[in-house]
């Protein structure tokens, strides 16, 4: 056994030396000429000089080659030539509830060594405000991380409304089908009220609280005017955050839309005019993809393949590069979901699991 182990060790060492030598040779390295000099020999006596021969005309020298850029000593060649990079594909499907799974997919694309751009495929009516904003923050980090900016191109499927539109705002370009349901820029906050029902069944709801507004939105009683005013103020603040996100990502396109509408030059459109245009669209209305394109909320009318081509062009990738898709989590469905599908009932677009939540959500 010892003899065999020693033999295997010598084979491994020899293989390692051979691989190292091949790498050095590929990189252009060669051993110095005097690495192993031969022993010097004694000088031999000088021979008598032979008579000079008639000189022959020298052949013309070829022009010296100009030094060009050094070629890399390695490249990935899988039969298709140089492989410059790939496009990551992130799919956001359904109501946006827990952002952690989507964020983990963004991180997976971020760590992939060949991903140079992202196509954000959206088919969502929106969701919780906090979840949507967390996803947007991670998309911005992906886009701006490193020395080379990685472009993001959003592609709208059937629905990309409210929070579904919000997460597309960091994109360098937005593609939408003409019939996509989009827009619905706004905030919604809902409270169920069951005071009359509890009264009929004889249930009394007792609340012990530390402050006057601690139980605002209690379903066992109606909301007071003061509580409604406070809630409205909160909704308006979150609504302004939505407008700021749209303006930050699409101020140029909104100016262009105002210029088309008013006949002005784009440079003559003031920020106040463009913001007023955005606010006129952000009243919760639902728009088709074509109307959103006319209003400056969408860059181009097209599908997923068009978005891939645009992402490749923005990232300066050759031809049609390959795509990388992180593993998707299969959506869990309850027996109520299957029953609703058998009866032809639409799936609920609301976010489940919370009695009250601020939402960027299509209604």
User: Could you list the active site residues?
Assistant: 162, 214
Tokens for 21, please give them: 């030598």
CA 334, CA 341: separation in Å to the nearest integer? 11
Give whole-number Cα distances, 155 to 2, 94, 109, 144, 275, in Å.
64, 15, 17, 20, 24
Q: 325: which residues sit within 8 A by CB, 6+ positions away?
A: 88, 89, 91
Tell me how far apart the alpha carbons of residues 14 and 1 are, in angstroms, rounded to a whole number: 20
Run of H or E including 360: strand 359-361
DSSP one-letter code for 188: B
Q: Six-digit token pair at 278?
A: 């955005």
Q: Is 316 left (phi over 0), alpha (psi -120 to 50) or beta?
A: left
Nearest in space to 172 (alpha carbons), one of 116, 103, 114, 250: 250
In the chain the first and final C-alpha atoms are separated, in Å, by: 75
Contact 142, 103 (CB under 8 A): no
């Amino acid at each position: 056994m010892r003899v065999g182990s020693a033999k295997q060790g010598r084979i491994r060492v020899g293989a390692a030396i051979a691989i190292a030598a091949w790498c050095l040779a590929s990189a252009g390295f060669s051993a110095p000429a005097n690495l192993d000099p031969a022993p010097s020999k004694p000088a031999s006596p000088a021979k008598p000089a032979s008579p000079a021969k008639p000189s022959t005309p020298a052949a013309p020298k070829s022009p010296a080659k100009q030094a060009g850029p050094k070629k890399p000593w390695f490249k990935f060649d899988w039969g298709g030539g140089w492989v410059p990079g790939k496009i990551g594909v992130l799919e956001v499907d359904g109501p946006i509830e827990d952002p952690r799974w989507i964020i983990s997919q963004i991180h997976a694309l971020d760590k992939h060594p060949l991903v140079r751009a992202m196509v954000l495929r959206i088919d969502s009516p929106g969701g919780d405000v906090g979840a949507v904003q967390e996803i947007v923050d991670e998309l911005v980090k992906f886009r701006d991380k490193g020395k080379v900016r990685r472009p993001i191109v959003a592609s709208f499927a059937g629905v990309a409304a409210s929070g579904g539109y919000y997460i597309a705002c960091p994109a360098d370009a937005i593609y939408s089908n003409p019939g996509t349901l989009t827009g619905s820029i706004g905030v919604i906050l809902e409270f169920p009220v069951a005071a009359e029902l509890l009264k009929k069944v004889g249930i009394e709801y007792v609340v012990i609280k530390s402050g006057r507004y601690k139980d605002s939105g209690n379903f066992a009683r109606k909301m007071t005017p003061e509580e409604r005013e406070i809630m409205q103020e909160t909704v308006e603040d979150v609504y302004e955050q939505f407008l700021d996100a749209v303006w930050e990502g699409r101020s140029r396109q909104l100016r262009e839309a105002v210029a088309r509408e008013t006949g002005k030059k784009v440079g003559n459109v003031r920020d106040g005019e463009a913001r007023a245009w955005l606010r006129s669209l952000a009243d919760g209305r639902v728009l088709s993809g074509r109307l959103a394109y006319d209003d400056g909320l969408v860059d181009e009318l097209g599908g997923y393949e068009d978005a891939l081509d645009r992402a490749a062009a923005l990232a300066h990738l050759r031809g049609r590069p390959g795509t990388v898709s992180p593993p998707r989590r299969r959506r869990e469905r309850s027996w109520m979901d299957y029953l609703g599908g058998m009866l032809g009932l639409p799936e609920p677009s609301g976010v489940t699991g919370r009695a009250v939540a601020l939402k960027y959500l299509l209604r």
